[in-house]
Amino acid sequence: MKENVTCRQAKEIDLVSYLSTLGYEPTKIKANQYWYHSPFRIERTPSFKVNRTMNRWYDFGEGIGGSIIDFGIRYYHCSISDFLNSYLGGRQVPYNDMDKVILPFPKEPVLLVNDVRNLSTISLIRYLASRMISYEVASVYLKEVNYTNSGRQFYGIGFQNNNGGWEIRSKHFKGSAAPKFLTNLSYGSDAIQVFEGFMDFLSFLQINALAGKSLSSDFLILNSTTMVAQALPVLHTYHSVDLYLDNDPAGDRATSLIKLELPKAKDNRIRYEGFNDLNEYLCVQEIKTWTPP
């Protein structure tokens, strides 16, 4: 059951930590001043500042600022009660009179990739099968990576981005090996399909393969909705842009930002309405109900 959060409790949440849970990290830190690219729009020069001592933010681009509550209702376009109960409700937000409270969302540990090989470990192939992704589809785009996390070695599925970083998955793990960036698969098409993560990209390929449809477009996998700004210069070069992002607030915002810059971009989420993402749709829907674009 969700617990209601009071205004007083909400205002004690550390804004810097909260922004981190949304995927925003400061571009510059000077004393108690944390500078960000504004979460409210796409920009080249950071204009959004958090005073961590005061726990207040100010957006110089729009001339507005305030507490975490002011941020929440602006960011989610919702009422105060909706922000407190729908977006903060259920999170463990301890109360402390003396110190600022930091949300218990630890930053992802540093991962070091030691070795990369073709996908062959049965447990990883079975994990993909549980997500309804066949080896035939997965083996074209995925590798098996051996990586170090907190001094211990593990293995997982690896999907590489265009800057050499990796998205790593297994049944019990989800993480990234720096640098974080997008993956653009270009085959010379004037059309491009855009996905939030590689599992949705593979789901799209799987759905179309099962439907007997061949594909000739290019693909862009964001690997995080925070990569929208980096994706826009790529998307501007295409005649046709199809979006397949998540049905959640982050997906809503990323879709809106892309369509704001590219009105021609088509939001295809109605095809899996009622499901969080394309992979969830694939896992629970009969394939015959899907009509390939």
> Based on the domain organization, do 34 and 82 belong to the same domain?
yes
Q: Are the beta carbons of 221 and 198 closer than 8 angstroms?
A: yes
Specify the DSSP class assigned to residue 14.
-
> Based on the domain organization, do 190 and 138 belong to the same domain?
no
> Based on the domain organization, do 166 and 243 belong to the same domain?
no
94 assigned to some structural domain: no
Q: What's the predicted TM-score (pTM) here?
A: 0.65
Domain containing 197 equals: 182-293
Three-state SS at 241:
strand
CA angle (73 as vertex; 197, 274 as ends), nearest 5: 40
- How many CA atoms lie within 13 Å of 10's alpha carbon, on the beta-carbon side? 24
Length of the chain: 293
> Based on the domain organization, do 165 and 198 belong to the same domain?
no
> Based on the domain organization, do 63 and 22 belong to the same domain?
yes
> Based on the domain organization, do 160 and 219 belong to the same domain?
no
89 Cβ contact list (under 8 Å, min separation 6): 2, 3, 4, 5
241 Cβ contact list (under 8 Å, min separation 6): 191, 192, 194, 235, 258, 262, 264, 265, 266
Q: Are the beta carbons of 225 and 275 closer than 8 angstroms?
A: no
**End residue of a domain, out of 54, 87, 120:** 87
**End residue of a domain, out of 31, 55, 87:** 87
**End residue of a domain, out of 87, 117, 146:** 87
Residue 95 vs residues 103, 117, 165, 241: alpha-carbon distances, Å: 11, 48, 38, 46
- Predicted local confidence at residue 109, as pLDDT: 52
Distance CA 120, CA 167 (A): 18
Instruction: Please tell me the total count of domains within the chain.
Output: 3
Q: What is the CATH number of the domain that holds 292?
A: 3.40.1360.10
> Based on the domain organization, do 244 and 159 belong to the same domain?
no
Q: pLDDT in tens for each of the 293 residues of the chain?
A: 345 678 888 888 889 888 887 888 888 888 889 999 888 887 778 889 999 988 999 988 778 888 999 998 888 887 888 888 877 754 443 333 333 344 443 344 568 999 999 999 999 999 999 999 999 999 999 999 999 987 889 999 999 999 999 999 998 888 888 888 999 999 999 999 999 999 999 999 999 988 788 888 999 999 988 788 889 999 999 999 999 999 988 888 889 989 988 999 999 999 999 999 999 999 886 544 444 44
212 assigned to some structural domain: yes
2 assigned to some structural domain: no
102 assigned to some structural domain: no
Distance CA 177, CA 110 (A): 7
Q: Are the beta carbons of 13 and 93 closer than 8 angstroms?
A: yes
172 assigned to some structural domain: yes
Residue 53 vs residues 6, 19, 104, 142, 155: alpha-carbon distances, Å: 21, 15, 19, 44, 41
> Based on the domain organization, do 192 and 281 belong to the same domain?
yes
Three-state SS at 156:
strand
99 assigned to some structural domain: no
E-assigned strand segments in the chain: 28-30, 33-36, 48-51, 56-59, 64-66, 111-117, 143-149, 152-160, 166-170, 173-177, 183-185, 191-195, 218-221, 240-244, 266-267
